[in-house]
Amino acid sequence: MRLEPVSLVLCRDPASSAFSARLPLFIGLLLALVLFPACSSQNSKEFGAVGSNARTSLNGLGIHKKMWEQAGAKCVTPASLSTRLESVDVIVLVPQTFDPPSLAAREWLEDWLQSEPGRTVIYFGRDFNAEQYYLQHLVDSASLADKPLLQLELAKVQVKEIQSRIDASGNSVFCGWFNWDMNQPYRVVSSVDGPWAESLSSADKLDWPIRTRLQPPASEMKSAIPSWLTTPKKKPALPATGPVIPGVNNDDDDDDEDKLVYRSKWEAEEIESVDEWNSLYDDLPESEVLLESSQGDPLVYRLTSSERFGQGQVIVAVNGAPFLNATSVKPAYGKVGAMIIDECPNANKVALLAYNSSGIQISWIEEIDARGFGLEMLVQWPLSAITIPACILGIVVCISLLPILGRPSELPKRSVNDFGMHIEALGDMIRDTNDETYARQAVADYFRIVRVEQPPAWLTEGVRSKE
């Protein structure tokens, strides 16, 4: 007897057919998850991007990073100042906020400069927004039909930039490596002086916007004592004995430097007394202006000090115009960026360290580079654009295949008296065997042997039983 085809047809798995029906949905979800990171990165507006968005953001450092690599240096993007930077020759501080480096961060970097000769720290101000610069040039060259939309986008960027500037401190203050002054008029530098000026021809068409000034440290600034040092501080009235909370450190003077990992945030009142202010000017580094405007505003300068920096140097740029993507492609800014790189001839490894308003993270634990090692590369760009969506898709599939919570129960079985089952079985056997006579005979034998009934006439007509 050959009844197997009939039994296979009558015992179908509804779960497999349901999963097949949902398969297109899962495929669409996978494509959306894979394509979403790529689409979002194309519209990235992150300022000072050094990671996955470094090449796609107008304010990213993708081109500057490529220039270092063309000069023969390997670039890394650490997340903190740590012992991993002992193998680095140049550290580029990328501020994503108007705040300058904190006192603790500057001291860490000065110790790092002293530990090996020939090291360099490069810092540029946050004063310049390449997206605003790019949109302004688009508005100036756009047609009348496109200009209103571009002006709207430019206005949004300008409002956001003004808000960020308002949140920053507006006082002129000495920050160790420069005097930070935000209360200067906006100016576009078109002509320059200094040792680097000869390399910039009139054909380069320099149009360097500046507002915040980063003045090199000079002894003449010693007399400009900040107001918070000369004004007595009003201490809030507190009870003689404050509450002691068990398990909590009640000492407000806890030093963050005792921690293994902490964030050092710049504060305008990092100098606490007039004596500390005066001591800052006892050991000022020597400054050399490399490029300045024709009005005398320093654009790029170098700081050296055998006592503070050893045989290293600190290069300060007034803002990020020579570093950011939207302006690095212009010949004038590209040349300035190349000249800054040329000041570090022995740079084999360069670290691009970005920090935001939360401060610079300082770690005494050995840190892993952002590129990752071993299996960690699966969660780093560009592999993360595939692996992370694939993991999410796997979770979605596993959840969809989980059984419904509750007591297990069997699905109701179809009755053998259902005439449609026989029609389906006969059709499937005819399709599989391409033998109508055999199919009719198999179903007829099923009636005689299993059900002990006389087969219907439509089965026995022209078919001879095996009995």
Q: What is the pLDDT of residues 213-259, one digit of tens each?
A: 898 988 877 777 777 677 765 544 444 444 433 433 444 444 555 56
Would you state the pLDDT for residue 143?
Answer: 85
C-alpha closest to that of 324 among 178, 141, 182, 132: 132
* In the predicted structure, residue 305 carries a pLDDT above the cut 80: yes
Cβ-count burial 338-373 (b if 16+ within 10 Å, e if not): bbbbebbeebeebbbbbbeeebbbbbeeebeebeee
In angstroms, the CA 61 to CA 165 distance is: 22
Angstrom CA distances, 389 to 28, 170, 310, 385, 454, stand at 12, 44, 48, 7, 60
Higher pLDDT, 362 or 246: 362
Q: What is the pLDDT of residues 25-75, one digit of tens each?
A: 445 544 444 444 444 444 457 788 888 788 888 889 999 999 999 999 999
Most confidently modeled range among 313-322, 360-369, 405-414? 313-322
Would you state the pLDDT for residue 1?
Answer: 38
Q: What is the pLDDT of residues 87-139, one digit of tens each?
A: 999 999 999 988 889 888 999 999 999 999 999 999 999 888 888 888 888 88
The answer to whether 9 touches 425, Cβ cutoff 8 Å, is yes
In angstroms, the CA 47 to CA 130 distance is: 9
* In the predicted structure, residue 18 carries a pLDDT above the cut 50: no
* In the predicted structure, residue 23 carries a pLDDT above the cut 60: no
Q: What is the pLDDT of residues 24-36, one digit of tens each?
A: 544 554 444 444 4
Would you state the pLDDT for residue 7?
Answer: 35
In angstroms, the CA 309 to CA 316 distance is: 14
* In the predicted structure, residue 272 carries a pLDDT above the cut 80: no
Higher pLDDT, 346 or 312: 312
* In the predicted structure, residue 314 carries a pLDDT above the cut 50: yes
What are the structure tokens assigned to 213, written together? 């000034």
Angstrom CA distances, 69 to 73, 296, 348, 415, 456, stand at 5, 33, 9, 75, 85
Most confidently modeled range among 46-50, 156-160, 307-311, 361-365? 307-311
The answer to whether 125 touches 320, Cβ cutoff 8 Å, is yes
In angstroms, the CA 113 to CA 140 distance is: 45
Nearest-10 crossing angle of helices 436-449, 419-433: 140
Would you state the pLDDT for residue 253?
Answer: 41
Q: Would you put residue 80 in left (φ > 0), alpha (ψ -120 to 50) or beta? A: beta
* In the predicted structure, residue 281 carries a pLDDT above the cut 60: yes
**Average pLDDT of the residues in 201-217:** 85
* In the predicted structure, residue 434 carries a pLDDT above the cut 60: yes
**Average pLDDT of the residues in 296-325:** 93
Most confidently modeled range among 163-177, 259-273, 276-290, 361-375? 276-290
Most confidently modeled range among 400-409, 414-423, 442-451? 442-451
Predicted TM-score (pTM) of this structure: 0.67
Would you state the pLDDT for residue 466?
Answer: 44
